[in-house]
């Protein structure tokens, strides 16, 4: 069925593309002072999109990048991806250039289909709304603001492990990691903590997330169509939560600092205007998607690598048990405890290097410019890849070796370790992700050892790395022989 959708999409794109094939063929020739980067546009219409995507489906997304670096002897090459003329920037110099020229020479780009899944009630684009959101989020997601939520994270983690892990001989890690991170996001973003209410939202979110990375054909029964319906359902649920919160704030039953929702309701823009309910629902919807999918991937891969590397597990276990022994019964984790988790975070960073949830991202050229002696025309899309440095032996010696010591001291060189992006577009939830990952690790290792049930389980990258079978493990509780 998916193949049918792919074929239908390709046919549609082909008909449209033929109509415009020659219209813009000479558009940029007269304004470019340097040659275009080396490369290949691939097949007509579809370009190199299938190879770009298929290397991820096969679990080796870096292959698309490194094959072309080797072929063209260049850290920048041209291609054709997702129906767009594109260049790929590789290495620390490419990352630095893009991150340093955000909103100067380049800007964020994503397909227009995003607006169909995340329609704003305003007349602005999702791109403009994202810029507004980035201005608002730092006040809530900065480390000093998040410190007061560590106890809540600890409380949710305790409930999660008690209800979903304890007294189980075997579990599927990836869906449980998604449940944990989604529960946290619901609690910290909109103060929804009841497991039944969380579950009511969780299934539509899974439909929405899978539809975002599907073929964007809005016909009944397609993943994209189901994603749009799921987003509409979730938006209605969020509007109901927002209306109740406004009443609670007015009656003094809710706090101005209890979550992002209260922050949004009480924060005006530079003109003194407050956001409409549907605008807030749109933004919360996006936050809930971004606030748990990437972290759940990271948590799952931490479980994977700790199962494969007993000596690394021992280091994390020792550190976490020292923290646990310093606590009185019933005492929740706090900021001082998080600061002691240095080795655990080095381990998490090495996981993020080898299996970055954010494989890369697209930018769009705002004007003609040159990079490394090559011209990049206005309007072209630019892709940067985390793996171009993460798995580069010149940047990280023995790149496939799991080595947390890479992050000791000053750590990797600037612009080489980029699981959260960089520059103005760096993920604003980086510190939030660090806290939820460390709290997860604390509760995991203090309760269990575990073995992988499928030793060589395939990893699929679509668009983030996912264990193909959900990472089933066999649990061995510490308090049992």
Confidence of residue 13 (pLDDT cuts 50, 70, 90): very low
| Averaged pLDDT score across all residues of the chain | 85
pLDDT at 22: 40
Assess whether pLDDT exceeds 80 at residue 133: no
pLDDT at 134: 57
Q: How far is CA 288 from CA 80, 92, 186, 194, 399, in A?
A: 31, 31, 7, 16, 33
pLDDT at 60: 86
pLDDT at 129: 54
What's the average model confidence in pLDDT over 343-371? Answer: 94
* Binding-site residues from annotation for heme: 427
pLDDT at 122: 45
Q: Are 216 and 113 in contact (CB under 8 A)?
A: yes
Nearest Cα to Cα of residue 128 among 140, 141, 146, 110: 110
pTM greater than 0.75 (yes/no): yes
What's the average model confidence in pLDDT over 331-359? Answer: 95
pLDDT digits (tens, 9 = 90+) for 243-270: 999 999 999 999 888 888 998 898 887 7
* Binding-site residues from annotation: 427
């Amino acid at each position: 069925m998916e193949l049918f959708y792919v074929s239908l999409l390709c046919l549609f794109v082909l008909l449209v593309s033929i109509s415009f094939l020659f219209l813009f063929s000479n558009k940029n020739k007269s304004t470019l002072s340097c040659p275009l980067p080396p490369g290949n546009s691939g097949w007509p219409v579809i370009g190199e999109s299938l190879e770009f995507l298929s290397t991820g489906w096969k679990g080796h997304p870096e292959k698309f990048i490194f094959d072309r670096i080797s072929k063209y002897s260049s850290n920048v090459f041209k291609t054709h991806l997702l129906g767009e003329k594109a260049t790929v920037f590789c290495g620390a110099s490419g990352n630095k250039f893009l991150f340093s020229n955000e909103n100067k020479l380049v800007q964020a780009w994503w397909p227009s289909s995003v607006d169909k899944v995340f329609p704003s009630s305003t007349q602005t684009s999702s791109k403009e709304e994202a810029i507004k959101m980035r201005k608002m989020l730092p006040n809530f997601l900065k480390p000093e603001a998040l410190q007061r939520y560590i106890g809540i994270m600890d409380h949710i983690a305790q409930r999660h492990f008690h209800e979903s892990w304890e007294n189980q001989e075997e579990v599927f890690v990836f869906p449980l990691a998604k449940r944990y991170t989604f529960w946290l996001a619901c609690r910290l973003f909109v103060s929804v903590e009841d497991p039944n209410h969380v579950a009511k939202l969780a299934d539509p979110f899974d439909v929405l997330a899978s539809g975002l990375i599907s073929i964007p054909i809005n016909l009944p029964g397609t993943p994209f169509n189901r994603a749009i319906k799921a987003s509409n359902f979730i938006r209605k649920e969020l509007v109901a939560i927002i209306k109740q919160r406004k009443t609670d704030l007015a009656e003094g039953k809710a706090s101005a600092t209890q979550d992002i929702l209260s922050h949004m309701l009480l924060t005006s823009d530079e003109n003194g205007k407050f956001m409409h309910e549907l605008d807030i629902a749109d933004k919360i919807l996006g936050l809930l998607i971004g606030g748990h999918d990437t972290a759940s991937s990271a948590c799952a891969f931490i479980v994977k690598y700790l199962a494969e590397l007993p000596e690394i597990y021992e280091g994390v276990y020792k550190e976490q048990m020292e923290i646990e022994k310093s606590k009185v019964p019933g005492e929740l984790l706090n900021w001082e405890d998080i600061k002691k988790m240095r080795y655990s975070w080095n381990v998490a960073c090495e996981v993020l290097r080898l299996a970055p949830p954010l494989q890369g991202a697209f930018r769009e050229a705002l004007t003609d410019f040159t990079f490394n002696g090559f011209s990049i025309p206005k309007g072209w899309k630019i892709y940067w890849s985390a793996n171009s440095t993460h798995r580069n032996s010149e940047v990280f010696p023995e790149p496939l070796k799991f080595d947390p010591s890479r992050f000791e001291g000053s750590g990797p060189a600037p612009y080489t370790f980029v699981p959260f992006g960089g520059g103005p577009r760096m993920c604003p939830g980086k510190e939030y992700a660090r806290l939820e990952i460390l709290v997860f690790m604390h509760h995991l290792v203090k309760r269990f050892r575990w073995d992988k049930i499928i030793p060589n389980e395939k990893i699929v990258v679509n668009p983030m790395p996912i264990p193909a079978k959900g990472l089933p493990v066999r649990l061995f509780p510490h308090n049992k022989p």
